[in-house]
Amino acid sequence: MDSQQILDLYDWQEGLCFRHPARGTQETAHIKTIRPPAGGLQDVRACAECVLQIEDAKERAAARGGETYRPGRLSGASDAS
Ligand SMILES: [Zn+2]
């Protein structure tokens, strides 16, 4: 699976990357929602560069654990697709 195929698994919208907020608004994908101690919900978004890094790390972790790597599921959403 190449980089573009992985990126195509995500929905892209303008936002701030959680690792690169200094870059300002750019195309980002929603990867998870966290509950800050202060309350409420906060979306965590990542730019393409970070999504690919995270997917790469996930692929290696899956290989180490003998599990099947499934890209595009960073959010841990319980969708059955
Ligand atoms: Zn980033």
Q: Give the Å distance between the CA of 72 and the centre of ligand 1.
A: 16
Residue 79, pLDDT score: 43
Q: Give the Å distance between the CA of 37 and the centre of ligand 1.
A: 24
Instruction: List all residues 6 or more positions away from 49 whose beta carbon is below 8 Å from its beta carbon.
Output: 20
Q: Locate the domains of the chain by residue range.
A: 3-64
CA dist., res. 32 & res. 35, Å (int): 10
> Which stretches of 1-81 are assigned E, i.e. beta strand?
12-15, 26-34, 42-47
Work out the pLDDT band at 72, boundaries 50, 70, 90: confident
Please, where are the H alpha helices in the chain?
A: 3-7, 48-64
How many residues are given for the chain?
81
Q: Give the Å distance between the CA of 45 and the centre of ligand 1.
A: 8
Q: Give the Å distance between the CA of 79 and the centre of ligand 1.
A: 25
Q: Give the Å distance between the CA of 17 and the centre of ligand 1.
A: 5
Q: What does pTM read for this prediction? A: 0.81
The residue type found at 16 is L
Per residue in 29-47, pLDDT (tens digit) is 999 999 999 999 999 999 9
